[in-house]
Chains A and B, each alone.
Chain A
Amino acid sequence: MNQAALGTVVRAIVRRDLLLAFRRQADVMTTVFFFVIVASLFPLGVSPEPAVLRMIAPGVLWVAALLSCLLSLGRVFTADHQDGVLEQMALIPHPLAVLVLAKVFAHWLVSGLPVVLLSLLLGVQFGLEGEALAVLALSLLLGTPTLSLIGSIGAALTLGVRGSGMLVALLVLPLFIPVLIFGAGAVSSTVSGIGAEANLSLLGACLMAAIPLAPWAAAAAVRIAVE
């Protein structure tokens, strides 16, 4: 029997997920606007003082990015689980972890990348300038894929579970903490002039550890769910 190569399958999965997201743009927009709105609430709630805003900006923008990632996690597997595509995917004679990685990559392109780009705009609103702004975008660029990867484990574990939205938050948020610390730390250490290199390196290390490990765990969780 003629069997498709792994590369072809991965490309097909990424293209399909992107196409589905493109056809349902409202879903994507919800996540992005959520990020903007949550971040905009803080100046109203805390203080519009530029000095205060500059101080809280790294944490606020990072937490907002983290929450918007959390909000979008349901989209990684849920629809495919409901219509049975996930079950078929588990039968493909290629490592499921690689296919999961492809899905997570597509998810990040749709929900993580817009957040990274928008953070530049929101950073300006919070009074970040120059290098701090660049480090904010860079830290999100390194960190949001890790969030998507770790989140995919939680999303796969809670497939078809009652109240899965809240449950996935409870499972995944504690695991997000290191990424939040290093990400926000990179920006605030730039603001205070220490330099962001250490934190950015650690963020990169988290990403490098998550790329092989998280899809593997998520694939195991998918198998538990579809069995």
Chain B
Amino acid sequence: MSESRVTWSKYSSPQALYPFAGRLIPWCAGAAGIFMIAGLYLGFFVAPTDFQQGDAYRIIFVHVPAAWMSMFLYVVMAVWAGLGLGLKARPSFMMAQAIAPTGAMFTFLALLTGALWGKPTWGAWWVWDARLTSELILFFLYLGVMLLHASIDDIRRADRASALFALVGVVNVPIIYFSVRWWNTLHQGASVSMTAAPTMAATMLTAMLLMTVGFWMYSIAVILVRLRCVMLERNRQVRSSQSAFEQGVKEVRA
């Protein structure tokens, strides 16, 4: 137990984390490729055609895993942000910063595939359904985290401010979801019901789970690549200020 704790805390230093992430990336990327190909094959060629929706429903194999990932990644980001604020650990903030764009990408993907799916089945690109609306708001929250981080120059302040906002957001997401749901039931009635899912064939569920695992692996790989970039970027700032400092010392001495 204590041994494993020592090994894990080792990776809280960027020097150890950077090569560790580098070793992990190819494995995750490979697994992502395999799982996604398997999931797409199963979903597009093996799973039976839907009785009501025909082949249009097959976008579900991208849509639902993307929506799951978008919500899951926000929670993960908030956990890293909270860890960063609680432990004052810089790699945690870097993780949170690295997760945000991938989460936003999945949120956008879920919205896009939802619109593409909605047009043939409901006859509308967009309906103000509770899930769609809260997914859109989730997208705004991701944008808020990223923009707040980008517009503060002092990197330590940017880290902590965007981490705090991510935490505020995670408290608010359930409130927003329920408020939108109640609003929707009050205003619109059950014009569109997405909750009445038909019993799913086993192959469909398998394909969806394979896609989800594939998206997980993809997320880990991309996030680690971005983490390494963030580390290099910050290290460059440190290095350049160090070299500027050393140069200044030399000039003063000369």
The yes or no answer to A213 lying at the interface (CB within 8 A) is yes
B151, A167: Cβ atoms under 8 Å? yes
Q: How far in angstroms is the closest Cβ of chain B from A10?
A: 24
Q: Which of B160, B167, B180 has the most CB of A within 10 A?
A: B160
A185 cross-chain contacts in B, Cβ below 8 A: 182-183, 186
Q: Mark B123-152, 1 if CB is under 8 A from A, else 0.
A: 000000000000001001101100110011
Task: Please tell me the number of chain B residues within 8 Å of chain A, measured between CB atoms.
Answer: 27
A177, B164: Cβ atoms under 8 Å? no
Partner of A171, one of B165, B171, B182, B183: B165
Closest B residue by C-beta to A227: B157
* Majority SS at the chain B contact face: helix
Interface residues of A in 151-209 (CB under 8 A from B): 153, 157-158, 161-163, 167, 170-171, 173-175, 177-178, 181-182, 185, 189, 202, 206
CA distance in complex: A177, B180 (Å): 8
Closest B residue by C-beta to A192: B186
Given contacts A185-B186, A227-B157, contact A174 B179 (CB under 8 A): no
B186, A170: Cβ atoms under 8 Å? no
B161 cross-chain contacts in A, Cβ below 8 A: 157, 221, 224-225
Given contacts A157-B161, A167-B151, A227-B157, contact A174 B183 (CB under 8 A): no
CA distance in complex: A38, B199 (Å): 49
Q: How far in angstroms is the closest Cβ of chain B from A210?
A: 10
Partner of A167, one of B148, B168, B169, B183: B148
Given contacts A182-B179, A224-B161, A225-B157, contact A174 B148 (CB under 8 A): no
Q: Which of B161, B168, B186 has the most CB of A within 10 A?
A: B168
Partner of A170, one of B144, B152, B171, B179: B144
Q: Which of A185, A206, A220, A224 has the most CB of B within 10 A?
A: A224
CA distance in complex: A163, B148 (Å): 11
A39 cross-chain contacts in B, Cβ below 8 A: none
CA distance in complex: A220, B161 (Å): 9
CA distance in complex: A185, B160 (Å): 36
The yes or no answer to B175 lying at the interface (CB within 8 A) is yes
Interface residues of B in 143-200 (CB under 8 A from A): 143-144, 147-148, 151-153, 157, 160-161, 164-165, 167-169, 171-172, 175-176, 179-180, 182-183, 186
B183, A181: Cβ atoms under 8 Å? yes
A161, B151: Cβ atoms under 8 Å? yes
Closest B residue by C-beta to A221: B164
CA distance in complex: A206, B171 (Å): 12
CA distance in complex: A86, B151 (Å): 21
Given contacts A157-B161, A163-B151, A221-B161, contact A174 B175 (CB under 8 A): no
A227 cross-chain contacts in B, Cβ below 8 A: 157
B160 cross-chain contacts in A, Cβ below 8 A: 224
Partner of B165, one of A157, A182, A206: A157
The 3 lowest CB-CB distance pairs between A and B, nearest first, are A178-B179, A174-B140, A181-B183
Q: Which residues of B contact A (CB under 8 A)?
A: 137, 140-141, 143-144, 147-148, 151-153, 157, 160-161, 164-165, 167-169, 171-172, 175-176, 179-180, 182-183, 186
Q: Which residues of A contact B (CB under 8 A)?
A: 153, 157-158, 161-163, 167, 170-171, 173-175, 177-178, 181-182, 185, 189, 202, 206, 213, 217, 220-221, 224-225, 227
